[in-house]
Amino acid sequence: MDLLKEIAREVQKETKVRLHRRNVERVLSAVLTERDFWKIIDLSDLPVPAVSGIIKQFIREGIIFTDDSENVLLTQKGYDLVSDLGISGLADYSCPSCEGRGYPFHIDKEFYRKFVELAKDRPDPVREYDQGAVTPETTVSRVLFLESRGDLEGKDVIVMGAEDDLTGLAVALRGKAKSVLVIDIDERLIEYDNRVFKELSIENAKAMVWDLRNPFEEDIIGKFDVFITDPPETFAAFRSFIGRGIATLKEEGCAGYFGLTLRDSSIFRWKEFQEILIGEYGTVITDIVQDFNHYMNWGYHDETRAAQIAPVKKPPADIWYRSAWYRIETLPGFKRWNEPISDEVFYLDEEGSTT
């Protein structure tokens, strides 16, 4: 019997997260590399319910155990298994200077310093909107990425529904875009941005409240060169944030940026998202930078399904939730999607658990 294949099958049945044998192998590699459960999820590149299910199954098989400090460790039987199967730990040769993104956040120290200063009083993340902000280093790197790709200077930029990251604020602060429009459902963030724009006399940027479940008015459609967003990983949110983002773009050759994570969605779900982007919306994926976006831990963790299903009670102590940074480009004949979306399954489904 192939134990790893059997575990993949069992856990898929129990969690409804699609899995294959190598996903299980990857969890063993992650356990050989890290002992903190949340770090193991990060390295496993799988949704929380899947890693949780796999580890619990290995505990039942006597291959993994948790010690008094709630570290996740291999038993002797576990070490024998990885040795027999030739499974090893994971190397990390990513660049420490740019945190592996390829764009050093400190290249313009004044911009970085100023953004950190402006972000320090930002509102706390709330569970109601699945908030969890990226680090200031991530936000600054996003702006440098756009700038390096010719998607900032002289461009009309819309930032949609992820302003807890303050990306719109950072784009405006950079002072290179022609205009910046920030929209978000959370009034606190909109007020925060508008106050900063006023204090700094930034006149080409504004922020307004909008619920992305609702279709955009005509005055937003086809008016922007670039959109930036960071959706929850349900299909409804993907369409509301990204389908609508594409609808704001002026013509072919315009760009969209967004984060997609494997902590709240599987690689199978990514394939379905990519099929929608290419087959239905008529865009092309030009870039995927894995683990570009680093999220600071959010205060409502204890209330989430992720915390409840974890094999340990210990909350995350360090950054563990990361997402890939996608860049897409519109091609001739691209489709502007702008339908209404109902409340159902907007933030959470079987693969998501951190809301």
Binding site for ligand SPD (CB under 6 A): 130, 132, 230-233, 259-261, 295, 298, 323, 354-355
- AA identity, residue 66: T
- Which is nearer to ligand SPD, 78 or 161 (by Cβ)? 161
CA dihedral 216, 217, 221, 223 (to 10 degrees): -120
Q: In this structure, what token pair is assigned to residue 338?
A: 């702008």
* Total residues found in the chain within this entry: 355
- Which is nearer to ligand SPD, 224 or 295 (by Cβ)? 295
Contact 354, 129 (CB under 8 A): no
Give every CB contact of residue 103 below 8 A, 6+ residues apart in sequence: 141, 144, 145, 148
CA distance 255 to 253: 7
CA distance 249 to 348: 28
CA distance 71 to 65: 8
- For residue 224, give the DSSP letter: B
Give every CB contact of residue 91 below 8 A, 6+ residues apart in sequence: none
* Bridge partners, 314 (sequence order): none
Q: Which helix (H) or strand (E) holds 321?
A: none
- Which is nearer to ligand SPD, 114 or 314 (by Cβ)? 314
Q: What radius of gyration do the chain's Cα atoms show? A: 21
Burial class (CB in 10 A: 0-12, 13-18, 19+), 2: exposed
Minimal CB distance residue for ligand SPD = 132
DSSP characters over 269-313? HHHHHHHIIIIIS-EEEEEEEEEEEEBPP-TTGGGSHHHHHSS--
State the minimum distance, in angstroms, from the CB of residue 288 to ligand SPD.
13
